[in-house]
Each structure stands twice: as structure tokens, then as C-alpha cells.
Structure 1
Amino acid sequence: MKKRYVASASALLLAGAAVIPSGASAEVATKNLQAKYNNIKVLYNGYQVSTPIEPFIVDGTTYIPVRMMAGVFNKDISWDGVNYTINVTDRPDPALQAQLAAKDAEITRLKNQISSLEDEIEDLEDELDDKDSKDGDIKDLEDELHDEFIDYFSAFDFEDIIVKGDEDEVEITIELDGYDYLEDWEDLSKSKIEAFVEDIVEAVWDWKEFEDADVIGVVVDIDDDDYELIEFEGFAKNGDIELDGKVIN
């Protein structure tokens, strides 16, 4: 059964902290209002919400308890009686905060991972640049030794001079085509071969990039399965140069 009551302004003010008017007009006054109670229900997602103060209608506007609705929407509410202000704030949500904290931790982890990968990429690029620079030095050394020593002996030319290594150790392979020049090689005096070995090792040490490098070299006969005709070494630490295991300088 429908009920209708007249509520005084003082009664409405007492309920001011607990109801929300749909209008937004700000007015300081005392009025007698006619409130209509009609067993109004509040449903949230189809479920009835318990209302400690029964909703009512005044001049076509429905008033419901603001504290009750704040609870429905997970909000905190307070009444400032000095300034006549209702303060509505978000209520902490532990589950949501935990999710946000987990997301923040994941973002931090990913940022750290990205930073680490960027550092690794930078290191690899530096290593690649350094390798390219060293490879370039070795290639330049190879070109120089090729130009200077490929025709070192007047009786024949070497087939090729191959250089590998780095600033710590340089490996030289000198190829002789024994089919055409083995006899000419064997006709060389020991002193000429020693001079050749000393000159090519010292040519390596003349390069600033390889002045501290040990030198390992061979002369091979490519016509005889790379048979080693001689083997030589240069030791940068003491400057000794060896031919077939014997110091020659």
C-alpha cells in the first residue's frame, strides 16, 4: 500500500549526510517538503540492496541513502558538518592493488631486461667493430707482406702469402708451387733463407698493431700436400727469431 508523509526541513537536514539529491542547486534555507514513500527498492545487478533509510520521492526526485550506495560502489564517504560537504573517496581494493603491484613489478623487470639486452647489444657491437678493425689490420698486413715478399727471391715467386691472427699472435703461411720452383728453393743458401725469415718477421713487428705479437710461420709446398719446407717463429718478448727451432739473429 502506498504511503505519503510530510517531512520537516530539520528532519531532512539530519538525513543530509545519508541521502543524495539528484539536483545540484546550492541553497541555504529551511523548507517544508512533502516526501513520498512508496516502498522503493534499490537493485544492484538484479539483487536487492538493503537500505537502512527508506528511499523517498520529493517533487519527482528520488532520494536514496548515499552511504548505502557508496558501499555498493566500493567507496568511502564522510560528512563535513562544518562546510556541509559530502566527501566521496575510492575505497582501497587489496586485490586490485596486488594486481597493480604485480604489473609494476613486471614492468620494472621488463625494463631491466631491456636495459640489460641493450647493454649486451652495445657490447656486441663494440666487439664487432673491434673485430672488424682487427680483421682490417690483418688484411692490410697480409697485403703488405704479399707485395713485399711474394717476389722476394729473384729466381721464383711464391704462389701466395696468407696471414691470420691478432695483436697477440700472427700466423703466416707462405705457399710455394714446388712443381715449378722446388729446385730453385732447394738451391737457396741457408743465409738467404735466414735473411728472408728475419725480414718477414721484422716486417710484422714494424706494425704498431703487431709490435708485441709472436709470429709463427711456415713455407709449404702446395704441390706436395702442403709439405712444410721450413718453419719459423718470432718471439716479441725477447726479439728472438728461430728457423726450424734454432735462433738465427
Structure 2
Amino acid sequence: MKFQRIKDVCLGATVAALVMGAAPAAYAKVANMDIPVMFNNIKIVVDGKELKTDKEPFIYEGTTYLPVRAVGEAVGKNVTWDAASKTVILGETEQKETEQTETE
């Protein structure tokens, strides 16, 4: 009886540790966080012409981030946001490509 009680306590502690250990990892993927970025008057030039945007490019950990819609449209691409899959699509969507293939 005493051995069963110890076994149950150990099993409960193990399950609790696994649940508590997994929860922060899952939460971290969807969490908002503040990051230190550097705004340094970054200019975007497309085909020799400066692109003016309402969203300012920035640098984070050595990588420069640009507003994808402004840049995509400046180079003649359609820009689409798929909220369900959280995907930015530059150019034609797969659905349109499939429709074109079926009609040919």
C-alpha cells in the first residue's frame, strides 16, 4: 500500500513536470515580445528609384527587414496575405496557377 502511494506521487509529479515544461514552449510561439530594433534611415531603391513607404525598414540582429507589400508591389508582384496559414504570397496564388493549368 505504501509503495503504491509513492508510485502514484512519482507518476503525478512526472506528469505535472511534463505538462508544465511543455506549456511555456507552446506559449512562446504565439507570444508577443518586445525586441530591440535599429531604425537608421534605411532607403529602399528599386530599379534606380527610391521607394517611399509608410512603414519604415529596420535592422534586428544584423538582418534588415523591409515592408514586403511595398517592395513586392514595386517590383510588379501581387502581394497576398493568407491569414489562415499566416503566409505572405508574392505573385500568383497556387489556386490561380491551378486554374490556369486546368484551362490550358
- TM-score range (shorter-chain normalised) is 0.5 to 0.7
Measure, in 1, the Cα distance between the counterparts of 2:39 and 2:67.
14
Is residue 42 of structure 1 aligned with residue 44 of structure 2? yes
Aligned length: 64
Measure, in 2, the Cα distance between the counterparts of 1:86 and 1:59.
22
Structure 1: 5+ residue stretches without partners: 1-26, 91-249
Q: Which position in structure 1 is the counterpart of 2:29?
A: 28
Higher RCO structure, 1 or 2 (CA under 8 Å, sep 6+): 2
Query: 1:163-190 CA deviation, whole Å, 9 max, x = no partner?
Result: xxxxxxxxxxxxxxxxxxxxxxxxxxxx
Higher percent of residues as helix: 2
**TM-score by structure 1 length?**
0.24
Shift of 1:35: 1.2
Shift of 1:66: 0.4
Structure-to-structure mapping, 1:1-249, within 5 angstroms: 28-30=29-31, 31-90=33-92
Measure, in 2, the Cα distance between the counterparts of 1:45 and 1:83.
32
**TM-score by structure 2 length?**
0.55
Amino acid of the structure 1 residue aligned with 2:29: V
Look at both structures and tell me which one has the larger radius of gyration over its CA atoms.
1
Shift of 1:82: 1.6
Structure 2: 5+ residue stretches without partners: 1-27, 93-104
Amino acid of the structure 2 residue aligned with 1:42: I
Contact 2:58–2:66 (8 Å) recurs in 1: yes
Shift of 1:47: 1.6
Shift of 1:28: 2.6
Contact 2:46–2:75 (8 Å) recurs in 1: no
Runs of 4+ in 1 over 6 A off after TM superposition: none
Measure, in 2, the Cα distance between the counterparts of 1:62 and 1:83.
24
Secondary structure at the counterpart of residue 37 of structure 1: coil
Identity value in percent: 33
Higher percent of residues as strand: 1
Shift of 1:46: 2.2
Question: CA-atom RMSD, angstroms?
Answer: 1.7
Shift of 1:45: 2.5
